[in-house]
Amino acid sequence: DHQEQALRLRPSLVKALRERGTLRMLLGDTAAGMADLERSVELDPKDPVNWNSRGYGHAMLGHHQRAIADYDKAIKLNPNYGYAFNNRGYSRLKLGDREGAMKDVRLAGRKNPGNPYVYRNMGLIALDAGDTDAACRNFRQALEQGFSARHGNEVEDLMRTHCGVKEMPKPVERDAPPPEPKERNAPGAPARHNAP
């Protein structure tokens, strides 16, 4: 059909399909969202962002083994893809592999130090290990890198709950604002999160 042909010929349409899938997932229409994410992988299996986004969809549904398989594929296609490492680290943490999670998230931080999700995930790993001080330092770093402005209040809520902080740190001013990520990050609360 013509729609299928157009999608194959115009990669920007595949990206739009992927983005629509992500938005549908975030808005709670998980069946339609996953269908879009599945289709984006079928149409362009060489794009690591498609695999990462579908992995995020799986993670949002709590299917972390499936998510890890998709993140692995994204990383195989692009070994420098920091977002996929970060997301895989989150899913590993959810499956109880704290050591693997830490390894992935640290590597993600080296590949993309401007990603505030790295510090959010480092904080979650520290909380899981019982190190509240380290968790709070990482959450503070995520906020200083602009987490809330980009992704919502999750880290602020974590700071209030675990760190006893009422007034949140402000993002650190930089010469130029960090670019908005094109790829999706690890999932968190169901609200405004940059994920897949």
Distance separating alpha carbons of residues 136 and 147, to the nearest angstrom: 14
Residue type present at position 169: P
**Residue 1, number of CB atoms within 10 A of its CB:** 6
Largest distance between two CA atoms of the chain:
57
pLDDT tens track, the chain, 196 positions: 555 666 666 667 889 999 999 999 999 999 999 999 999 999 899 999 999 999 999 999 999 999 999 999 999 999 999 999 999 999 999 999 999 999 999 999 999 988 999 999 999 999 999 999 999 999 999 999 988 877 788 999 999 999 988 777 777 665 544 444 444 554 443 333 344 3
Q: Which pLDDT score is estimated for 173?
A: 64
CB 156, CB 143: distance < 8 Å:
yes
Distance separating alpha carbons of residues 114 and 117, to the nearest angstrom: 9
Distance separating alpha carbons of residues 195 and 182, to the nearest angstrom: 10
Whether this prediction's pTM lies above 0.85 is answered by no
Distance of CA 115 to the CA centre of its chain: 10
Q: Map out the domains of the chain with their CATH numbers.
A: 2-163 (1.25.40.10)
Q: Which pLDDT score is estimated for 9?
A: 62
Cα–Cα distances (Å) from 168 to 60, 94, 115, 142, 157, in that order, read 27, 27, 19, 11, 10
Write the DSSP string, 141-189. HHHHTTHHHHH-SHHHHHIIIII--SSPPPPPP-SSPPPPPSS-----S
Q: Which residue has the tokens 């594929």?
A: 73
